[in-house]
Amino acid sequence: MASVVPFCAIRPTRDKVSLVATRSYLSYSDETLNEKLNNNPYTFLHIINPDFYEKNKAKDYTERFNMVRAKFEDFNKKGVFISDNKKQFYIYQKIKENGHSFIGIIGASSVEDYINGNIKIHEQTIEKREHLFKKYLDITGFNAEAVLLTYPNHNTIDKLIEEYSKKRAEYEFTTTNKSLHKLWFVNSDADISTIQTAFSEVDSLYIADGHHRFASSSLLYKDKNHINPSNKDFCMSYLIAEDQLKIINFNRLVKDLNGLSKNEFLIAVEKKYTIQKIEKAFQPKEKDEIAIYVENQWYSMVAKSEFVEREDCVEKLDPSILSKNILSPILGITDPRNDKRLSFVDGSVSLKDIENKIDGKEFELAFILKAVNFSQLKDVADNGRSMPPKSTYIQPKLRSGMLIYKIND
């Protein structure tokens, strides 16, 4: 069973939410970040980049995180944020420009569920990053980015969300990327109870995005004395049903052919793949198929069955097949996570843009992969395994600062 509870959010006032809520600061170039900070006094980017304009940058993470907390407190004093006085759930919907809609419930999920395996993972976290974000949470006292969790569709939850989506939203705003955002408050005691009861009937939750955030919350949880209940017992989460989740592929770009000519490379690949020339850019669809682009030519490559481990939930995935049969033995890329010859580009980047990167000699070779599907992700998580790095690019991506979870009671 999954333990999900309501909480009192700190959030922007209705008139400022569109100005406060922001994409992750990591998605902005320095130039764009500078433009955002110069022209929007309310953006949450001011809080998470408190020393952007300082001549003397923070000397270490402790000083930087204290500056984040101070800037957050300054926003509070100026009335940018308000605090809800009743614990509630929040229903959040994002509708992209292409009409694709995501909708789910924002609440707080149990850290104990994460520790005991009721909240399942599909990738390993980096210990250094876990401890760094734990320090961030401890010093700043808040979390502004919900972990994305998913679960098997539940009829009761689906119906309740549908009912609320027909009502007037508390927040409704459009961002510059032409996405529409809506937020409803679930503060009825009966509906809160319905949500909690429904989630208690769900066997497992799956982390779709935000493994490091949950891992860091678990470290913080282990530090507390556990005598009294605390917000540290939970982690802010955006819970969406399986059918709401969208998994996009991650493609691989390689700087060189490891000293091989194109023909030598293709001859080596042909020992393990069936290769066919394709006239124009395409997205692979067949089982064990990947596309490659090299020297102005597209190819379809299908792995020969004897080189695929069908019984292993990780090894039968396209990223694993590629690493085992091409990246490592032919191109000499044995550590995909850290090899500087290899770059990852998510599937939202067009094939034309990828062609341009190869034709412009920024890279020598592109591998286009199919998206991992959710059943494959669940299979890996249920077996306690981890996917290869950059196997999934999962949507929706949430905005920071729209709802803030207070860590320190």
Q: How far apart are CA 6 and CA 28, in angstroms?
A: 32
Element (H, E) at 249: none
Residue 404 carries which DSSP code? Answer: B
The answer to whether 259 and 241 have CB atoms below 8 angstroms apart is no
Residue-wise pLDDT for 29-56, tens only, equals 888 888 999 999 999 999 998 887 776 6
Q: How far apart are CA 395 and CA 231, in angstroms?
A: 27
User: Global pTM?
Assistant: 0.89
Element (H, E) at 382: helix 374-382
Strand-strand pairing, 119-120 and 234-241? unpaired
pLDDT at 400 over 70: yes
Query: How many CB atoms sit inside 10 A of residue 161's CB?
Result: 20
> Where do the structural domains in the chain lie, given as residue ranges?
4-247+395-406, 250-370
Q: How far apart are CA 65 and CA 174, in angstroms?
A: 30
Q: What's the helix, strand, coil split of the chain in %, to 5?
A: 35, 25, 40
Residue 368, beta-bridge partner list: 291
Residue 11, beta-bridge partner list: 82
Residue-wise pLDDT for 350-388, tens only, equals 999 999 999 999 999 999 999 999 999 999 999 999 998
Q: Please report, rounded to a whole number, the percentage of residues in the chain having pLDDT higher than 70.
A: 98
Please state which CATH class domain 250-370 belongs to: alpha beta
Residue-wise pLDDT for 259-316, tens only, equals 999 999 999 999 999 999 999 999 999 999 999 999 999 999 999 999 999 999 999 9
